[in-house]
Structure 1
Amino acid sequence: MSNIMSNLSLEEIKAILFQLPEQELVTLVTDLEERLQTTAMMHLAETGFQEWEDEEEDIYNAEA
């Protein structure tokens, strides 16, 4: 985050955003939704690979 953004409160950021034209707000919301969905899917995917980190379940490195 840039220095400018780190010095602004959430309310100040909202005030700036609400000055944007409606179409730009729609675009911003769409972009935010996409980023949040991607982040949520990444967190969900991490849980699917936790068993690979378990040394007792390490069948992929077992010597034959």
Structure 2
Amino acid sequence: MTETPSIEEIKALIFELGLEELIKLMSEIEERLEIMTMMQLAETGFQEWNNPEEDIYK
């Protein structure tokens, strides 16, 4: 199993990237954040359906 790198190790690697690589990485991070934010917002819209008493797939 591989060890998860620390934030400091990730930052050190990021600072070694060139400009084009940094721009691509930023774009991918922004896209992931947008998706995660939308998923969180969508989740709140379905809370009324989260009723354990009606869970027919137990």
Tell me, yes or no, whether TM beats 0.5. Answer: yes
Q: Which runs of 4+ in 1 moved over 3 A?
A: none
Aligned-residue identity in percent: 49
Q: Distance in 1 between matches of 2:11 and 2:50?
A: 41
Q: Distance in 1 between matches of 2:43 and 2:26?
A: 26
Match of 1:19, SS? Answer: coil
Structure 1 residues without counterparts, runs of 5 or longer: 59-64
Q: Distance in 1 between matches of 2:29 and 2:38?
A: 14
Match among 45, 51, 60 for residue 48 of structure 2: 51
Higher CA-based Rg: 1
Equivalent pairs, count: 53
Which residue does the alignment assign to 2:11? Answer: 14
TM-score normalised per structure 2: 0.77
- Deviation of the 1:17 alpha carbon: 1.0
Match of 1:3, SS? Answer: coil
**Larger relative contact order (CA 8 Å, sep ≥ 6):** 2
Alignment root-mean-square deviation, CA: 1.9
- Deviation of the 1:12 alpha carbon: 1.2
